[in-house]
Amino acid sequence: MKPETKRRLLALAVIVLILGVDQVLKIWVKTHLCPGESIRMADWAYIAFIENKGMAFGMDFVGTWLLCIFRLVAVGLLGWLLWRLAARPKISWAFVVLVSMVLAGAAGNIIDNVFYGLVFSDSNGLTPATLVPFGQGYGSLMEGKVVDMFYFPIIDTNWPQWMPLVGGDHFVFFSPIFNFADAAITTGGALLVICYYKTLNRLISRKTPDPD
């Protein structure tokens, strides 16, 4: 088997694994909890179910259709880039894994956007959502909501009263609620920047990349 074929198979395996874990977690949370409900794992760790139409970590500043189309284009371009880079003789296996993590994370949230509105009933806050026949869900194509569930309030306290401006205010360190796909995007992207910033710079400047 050619080295480029092995690297492409590795990329496929990473993508399938991340997508599988991400979707299993989301479906379990969506069919067992109502939005706003949470399960306490520890003082600093919760499974807290929320839904959003926006970007990673619950941000929401563009429409669902526009965001979904942007994600589809971005994932398509990233997939094409990964396929091309995997054919280079000096491509690093680690580089392939990290790019695959980002690609899989983005694809995981696309699945929510594109299909969840078609296959899940609308949770009314009293009962969890259920799987329904295709097309009979709470929305149409590309109107699905992204499922988030990981909440890690590592520090949950109040500012000392003597602190100027914020004295007595409630403070939570790391308040975003996110999902497994978000974690894959963030981890993969951060490690790419840290470990392969020179390669990324060559890619952006349209020079021939030669990842270490």
Active site residue 112: no
Of 22, 122, 148, 156, which is the active-site residue?
A: 148
Active site residue 156: no
Of 43, 169, 182, 212, which is the active-site residue?
A: 182
**Per-residue confidence in pLDDT tens, the chain, 212 aa:** 888 899 999 999 999 999 999 999 999 999 999 999 999 999 899 999 999 875 544 455 455 677 778 888 989 999 998 998 888 877 888 999 999 999 999 999 999 989 999 999 998 778 999 999 999 999 988 889 999 999 999 888 888 888 888 888 888 888 899 999 999 999 999 999 999 888 777 777 765 445 45
> Rounded to an integer, what is the distance from CA 6 to the centroid of its chain?
26
pLDDT at 55: 53
Question: What phi-psi label fits residue 141: left (phi over 0), alpha (psi between -120 and 50 degrees) or beta?
Answer: beta
pLDDT at 57: 47
Q: Return the H-helix or E-strand segment holding 30.
A: helix 3-32
Mean pLDDT, the chain, rounded, equals 87
pLDDT at 63: 57
Residue ranges covered by each domain of the chain: 3-204
Q: Tokens for 196, please give them.
A: 């392969």
- Per DSSP bridges, beta strands 170-173 and 45-52 are unpaired
Please give the angle made by the CA atoms of 54, 58 and 59, to the nearest 5 degrees. Answer: 60
Contact (CB, 8 A) for 37 and 124: no
